């Protein structure tokens, strides 16, 4: 699987995605935080239902992905890009995650989510943010 860029914004992701979709003449695939399965233990903050949880544009065969930062999470313009590693091999996801966390910091430990059996985030020792996603098809 290829590596893809993942861009984060502070509440204006839909505007960004729609602009890039128009520029490149492609369709946008957008999911909101409100479309996630409800989690009574961690309810969404009021007003965040329409923020973009995940969006994707496929431009000339490459995926560019986007998300609004979750309400309450830090956002710093200029540091709003990470790399996304997706694989059909859970072992490859786990191995890369554990190697890149050495000297870095874990943002989200590998765990099951509603879209993946194994997903996590880490910032490597060089300050690069990574997202890991096991594609269990």
The answer on 50 and 32 residing in a single domain is: yes
Cα torsion for 48, 57, 92, 90, to the nearest 10°?
60
The answer on 70 and 105 residing in a single domain is: no
Q: Which tens digits make up the pLDDT trace of 48-94?
A: 899 999 999 998 788 999 999 988 888 877 778 888 888 898 998 99
Domain span holding position 133: 82-137
The answer on 88 and 41 residing in a single domain is: no
Report how many domains make up the chain: 2
The answer on 55 and 66 residing in a single domain is: yes
> Coil, strand, or helix at residue 3?
strand
Give the pLDDT of residue 33: 92
The answer on 137 and 87 residing in a single domain is: yes
The answer on 30 and 92 residing in a single domain is: no
Contact 26, 85 (CB under 8 A): no
* Residue whose token pair is 């091999």: 89
The CATH number that applies at residue 75 is 3.10.180.10
What's the CA gap between 29 and 42, in Å, rounded? 25
The answer on 104 and 59 residing in a single domain is: no
pTM, entire model: 0.71
What's the CA gap between 60 and 133, in Å, rounded? 22
**pLDDT exceeds cutoff 60 at 1:** no
């Amino acid at each position: 699987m290829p590596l893809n860029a993942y861009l984060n914004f502070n509440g204006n992701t839909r505007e960004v995605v729609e602009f890039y979709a128009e520029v490149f003449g492609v369709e946008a695939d957008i999911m909101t935080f409100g479309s996630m399965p409800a989690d009574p233990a961690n309810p969404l903050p009021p007003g965040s239902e329409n923020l973009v949880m995940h969006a994707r544009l496929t431009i000339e065969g490459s995926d560019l992905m986007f998300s609004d930062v979750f309400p309450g999470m830090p956002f710093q313009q200029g540091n709003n890009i990470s790399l996304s590693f997706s694989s059909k091999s859970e072992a490859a996801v786990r191995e890369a995650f554990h190697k890149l966390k050495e000297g870095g910091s874990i943002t989200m430990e590998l765990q099951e989510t509603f879209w993946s059996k194994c997903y996590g985030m880490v910032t490597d020792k060089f300050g690069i943010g990574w997202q890991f996603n096991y594609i269990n098809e």
